[in-house]
């Protein structure tokens, strides 16, 4: 039966006229809980719903509607018993000091410190970061403690306290390196990536060694996730910083690595990176000479430039470098060799090639999130859906449809949390969190999974089907390990649904490590829906070496896969295979029209 909004609205008004707010609640909820509503219509229903919540004592839900609608005074009046909501009202009013005070009252010291930093009160923020760094609950949380020390160090630096800055940063580095090692040991590379992002941020303000450690590890993880444009953006940014610091040897190496990456992945920027590698190598050689360094070190740098120019076919530039080498104070035999090589290239014409630079439009604005703040905020919110969605509603960067879904999620919890049915609330709340479809939904889902019964855990795993983030696999994997069949079935369905580019690595891990053939095949099927070279290579490997059932699935996926490299991979594999694998490869080739 089609939903009749006019009938629901009339019935809700009649209930209100009779003084029966509870009776009006379900009708009003059915009116606001819809995706496509014009703002004026939504405001009408929300206004009525807010009055109902106020009448039945759900004051936080009523305050949420008031704040969303822009009535800050009403929201503050309704929030007198809740410091976090009062803080959000103060933020809306621009009263940052009051927001910080309310957060402190609720023991959200990190939230308060961030507010003070945004208001320019670094002295007050530093006091709060120091206080939080000594919190007993952080004693065993290496990662969050590292973030807090990082924030403390930055506040100290802004105040000009170099000694305190160094002490906090050294401690932060040790903690974050330890946390990164532990995350990688657990197979949580995406969390290790967060640690390395903070380290590279430290390096931007400090030692080049920290910058290098952070960037190189981030690039490594991004490569493993096949996030090609993120890889190049990180290379580009690191190269720029290396040149700014006159680290020309490092820059030349980075440009060479980026060129190799482009060749491997068929990207058109290799020539540009080789040119830059040669230029930086020459700068490195000149820097060595100017500083009185060993001639052999300068000679090696010039050799790097020669190799890059040779790859480009820029033989005139090669001759120039040989001319420079001839004039270096080297052994006579080496000088004579460079003269011969120079003469051998005399008259060799340059090869003409098109140079394409990495374009700005491929740069991702979200490449460097403020992890050091975001994850402290997440830690203090402790997986509370209402508080998490309150943060979303407060953040203007989110589009209107996301904020509406966050509003519904928060209202659903705050409007029902005193009714006593924890299972029903947890189950439905998980569904609303999934509908918001943002990364912030994951922490509340993880918390609900931790504390909920079987129905709630199943609902949490079901919700991650809509959350296309690597972290979603943490919950899916926990579902696979659950003792309840219902939860495991939902986890299997999630594995089958989560196929997006950077899902390849967690799916590959599941495929390699699970002993359950059903789970292994579900992961394999999702991998086959990721149209990347790495996914195609894995499928070909399964056809060649996998069990019979897996081979059949992989072959079917390769037949349908829209990836340019599949034809070459399959043809090359068929040249050497025999037996069942050869038959499967021949079937793929026939189906793809290769024979």
Query: Hey, what domains does the chain have and what are their CATH numbers?
Result: 5-99 (1.25.40), 134-344 (1.25.40), 508-595 (1.25.10)
Residues in CB range of 300: below 8 A, 6 or more apart: none
**What is the dihedral sign for C-alpha 203, 209, 210, 214?**
positive
Q: In tens digits, what is the pLDDT along the chain, a chain of 595 residues?
A: 456 788 889 999 999 889 899 999 999 999 999 878 888 999 999 999 999 999 999 999 999 999 999 999 999 999 999 999 999 999 999 999 999 999 999 999 999 999 999 999 999 999 999 999 999 999 899 999 999 999 999 999 999 999 999 999 999 999 999 999 999 988 888 899 999 999 999 888 788 999 999 999 999 999 887 788 899 999 999 999 999 999 999 999 999 999 999 998 888 999 999 999 999 999 999 999 899 888 889 889 999 999 999 999 999 898 988 888 888 877 888 889 888 888 888 878 888 888 999 998 888 776 788 999 999 999 999 999 999 999 999 988 899 999 999 999 999 999 986 666 889 999 999 999 999 999 999 999 999 999 999 999 999 999 999 999 989 999 999 999 999 999 999 999 999 999 998 899 899 999 999 999 999 999 999 999 998 888 999 999 999 998 889 999 999 999 999 888 888 899 988 888 888 888 999 999 999 888 7
Give the CA angle between residues 488, 492, 496 to the nearest 5°. 170
- Yes or no: say if 81 and 97 are a contact pair by the CB < 8 Å rule: no
The torsion region of residue 382 among left (phi > 0), alpha (psi -120 to 50) and beta comes to left
d(CA 269, CA 307): 17
From residue 105, alpha-carbon distances to 108, 111, 269 in Å are 7, 11, 54
Q: What is the DSSP letter of 501?
A: G
Q: What is the pLDDT of residue 263?
A: 93
Ramachandran class of 313: left when φ > 0, alpha when ψ lies in -120 to 50, beta otherwise:
left
Rounded to whole angstroms, how far apart are CA atoms 171 and 194?
A: 17
Q: DSSP secondary-structure letter at 360?
A: G
Find where tokens 């621009």 sit. Answer: 94
Cβ–Cβ contacts within 10 Å for residue 483, how many? 7
- Cα 236-239-243 angle, rounded to 5 deg: 140
Distance CA 26, CA 23 (A): 7
pLDDT at 1: 46
Calpha distance 273→290 (Å, rounded): 25
pTM assigned to the model: 0.86
The H-assigned helical ranges of 269-420 are 270-290, 295-312, 315-326, 332-344, 371-381, 385-394, 400-414
Sign of the dihedral defined by the CA atoms of residues 142, 144, 147, 149, in that order: negative
For 338, how many CA atoms within 13 A lie in the half-sphere containing its CB? 22
Most distant pair of Cα atoms in the chain: their distance? 106
Query: What's residue 294's pLDDT?
Result: 85
pLDDT given for residue 420 in this prediction: 66
CB atoms within 10 A of CB 572: 12
| Cβ–Cβ < 8 Å for 469, 406 | no
Helix (H), strand (E) at residue 481: none
Residues 6+ apart with CB under 8 A from 528: 535, 539, 553, 554, 556, 557, 558, 560, 561
| pLDDT score recorded for residue 364 | 78
Distance CA 156, CA 134 (A): 16
The number of angstroms, rounded, from the C-alpha of 528 to the middle of its chain's C-alpha atoms is 23
Residue of 391, 377, 507 whose CA lies nearest to 438? 391
CA proximity to 179, closest of 148, 203, 202, 146 = 146
Could you give the CA distance from residue 45 to residue 236 in angstroms, rounded to a whole number?
50
Under a CB-based contact definition with an 8 Å cutoff, are residues 36 and 72 in contact?
no
Side-chain-facing half-sphere of 348: CA atoms under 13 Å: 17
Overall size of the chain counted in residues: 595
């Amino acid at each position: 039966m089609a939903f009749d909004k006019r009938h629901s609205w009339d019935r809700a008004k009649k209930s209100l006229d009779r003084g029966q707010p509870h009776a009006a609640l379900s009708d009003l909820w059915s009116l606001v809980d819809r995706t496509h509503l014009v703002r004026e219509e939504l405001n009408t229903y929300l206004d009525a719903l807010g009055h109902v919540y106020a009448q039945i004592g759900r004051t936080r839900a009523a305050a949420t509607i008031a704040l969303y609608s822009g009535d800050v005074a009403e929201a503050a009046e309704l929030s007198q018993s809740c410091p976090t909501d009062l803080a959000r009202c103060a933020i809306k009013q621009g009263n940052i000091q009051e927001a910080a005070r309310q957060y402190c009252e609720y023991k959200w010291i990190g939230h308060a410190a961030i507010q003070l930093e945004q208001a320019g009160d670094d002295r007050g923020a530093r006091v709060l970061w120091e206080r939080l760094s000594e919190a007993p609950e952080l004693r065993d949380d290496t990662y969050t403690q590292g973030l807090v020390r990082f924030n403390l160090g930055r506040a100290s630096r802004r105040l000009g306290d170099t000694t305190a800055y160094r002490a906090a940063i050294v401690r932060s580095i040790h903690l974050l390196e330890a946390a990164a090692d532990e995350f990688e040991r657990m197979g949580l590379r995406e969390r290790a990536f967060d640690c390395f992002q903070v380290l590279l941020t430290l390096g931007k303000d400090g030692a080049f060694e920290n910058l290098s450690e952070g960037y190189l590890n981030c690039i490594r993880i991004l490569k493993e996730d096949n996030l090609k444009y993120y890889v190049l953006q990180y290379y580009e940014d690191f190269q720029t910083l290396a040149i700014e610091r006159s680290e020309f040897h490092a820059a030349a190496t980075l440009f060479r690595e980026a060129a190799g990456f482009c060749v491997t992945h068929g990207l058109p920027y290799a020539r540009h990176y080789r040119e830059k590698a040669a230029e930086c190598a020459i700068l490195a050689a000149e820097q060595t000479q100017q500083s009185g360094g060993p001639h052999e070190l300068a000679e090696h740098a010039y050799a790097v430039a020669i190799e890059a120019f040779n790859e480009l076919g820029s033989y005139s530039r090669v001759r120039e470098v040989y001319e420079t080498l001839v004039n270096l104070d080297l052994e006579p035999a080496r000088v004579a060799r460079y003269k011969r090589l120079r003469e051998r290239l005399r008259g060799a014409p340059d090869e003409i090639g098109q140079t394409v630079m990495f374009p700005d439009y491929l740069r991702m604005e979200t490449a460097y999130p403020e992890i050091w703040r975001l994850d402290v905020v997440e830690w203090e919110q402790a997986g509370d859906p209402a508080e998490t969605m309150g943060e979303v509603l407060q953040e203007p960067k989110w589009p209107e449809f996301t904020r509406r879904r966050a509003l519904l999620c928060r209202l659903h919890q705050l409007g029902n949390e005193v009714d006593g049915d924890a299972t029903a609330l947890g189950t439905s709340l998980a569904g609303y969190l999934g509908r918001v479809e943002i990364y912030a939904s994951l922490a509340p889902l993880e918390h609900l999974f931790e504390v909920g019964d079987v129905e709630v855990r199943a609902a949490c795993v079901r919700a991650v089907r809509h959350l296309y983030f690597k972290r979603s696999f943490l919950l899916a994997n926990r579902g696979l390990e659950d003792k309840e069949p219902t939860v495991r079935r939902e986890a299997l369905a999630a594995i089958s649904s989560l196929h997006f580019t950077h899902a390849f690595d967690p799916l590959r891990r599941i495929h390699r490590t699970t002993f359950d053939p059903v789970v292994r095949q579900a992961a394999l099927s999702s991998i086959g829906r990721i149209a990347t070279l790495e996914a195609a290579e894995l499928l070909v490997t399964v056809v060649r070496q996998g069990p019979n059932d897996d081979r059949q699935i992989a072959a079917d996926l390769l037949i349908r896969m829209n990836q340019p490299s599949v034809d070459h991979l399959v043809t090359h594999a068929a040249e050497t295979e025999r037996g069942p694998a050869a038959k499967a490869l021949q079937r793929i080739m026939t189906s793809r029209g290769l024979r």
